[in-house]
Homo-oligomer: A and B are copies of this chain.
Amino acid sequence: MANINPARRAEIGREKRARTRAQLVEAANSLFARQAVESVTVDDVVREAGVAKGTFYVHFDSLEALTAAVAEELVQSFDEMLQPGRVSLSEPALRIAFGCRAFIDKALNDSRWAAVAARMTAATPKGGENIRRRLFEDLQQLPTESPEETSAELNLEVVVGIMLQILRALGEGRLSSLNRDAVISAILRAIGLGAQEAESVVERLPTTVPEKSSRAAAN
């Protein structure tokens, strides 16, 4: 009948909590992959997660909070993917190409991720702001032949537009036999590099560090 260590109690609680919270985030990801973020309801989420409704509100104040959690997880994965290239590559075009290739690789072996990423940028533009900003800086640093005709603002939209559409296509099962390098080459040509320059950048791109093949075929 003696009391048990309260600190230990809390730890057990945290573990259980974390598991359930992860279930909810996982369910949201599955739902966001197949329908518009704005059309998902709390009931949808708890049904998908196999959890009672009250449990949802123990972990999140509202759907927006859950959406924010999904967005944060996504931003985290962005940063992890983009980090290695940012620190090691000095040439702007190489950094841009590296980032795009990382996105495409990720999308190629996790189409659900691609679908969710594409949908979330439309629903919560806030999350993507950092990546946009960094890409914009790289585009400004890009050496250009005809500065008066080149606009970093336009190039930003061009790169983002191509990448988002590729993510959407892969997320919907289209373009499954996609040539990574062809996409990157198209992007580089669109932002002003010559065809040979673009090819050169693609060839000089360092081989990706072997990924810890986590969620390859999950769900």
Contact = CB atoms under 8 A, between A and B. Distances in A.
A194 B191 contact: no
Contact of A39 (B38, B154, B158, B179): B38
Interface of A: 35-39, 122-123, 149-151, 153-155, 157-158, 160-166, 169, 174-175, 178-179, 182-183, 186-187, 189-192, 194-195
Contacts of A163: 161
A140 to B, nearest CB: 16
A191 B182 contact: no
Given A36-B36, A182-B149, A195-B194, A165 B154 contact: no
Contact of A182 (B39, B151, B174): B151
Given A162-B161, A164-B161, A179 B123 contact: no
A194 B37 CA distance: 40
Contacts of A182: 149-151, 154
Nearest to A167: B161
A192 B186 CA distance: 7
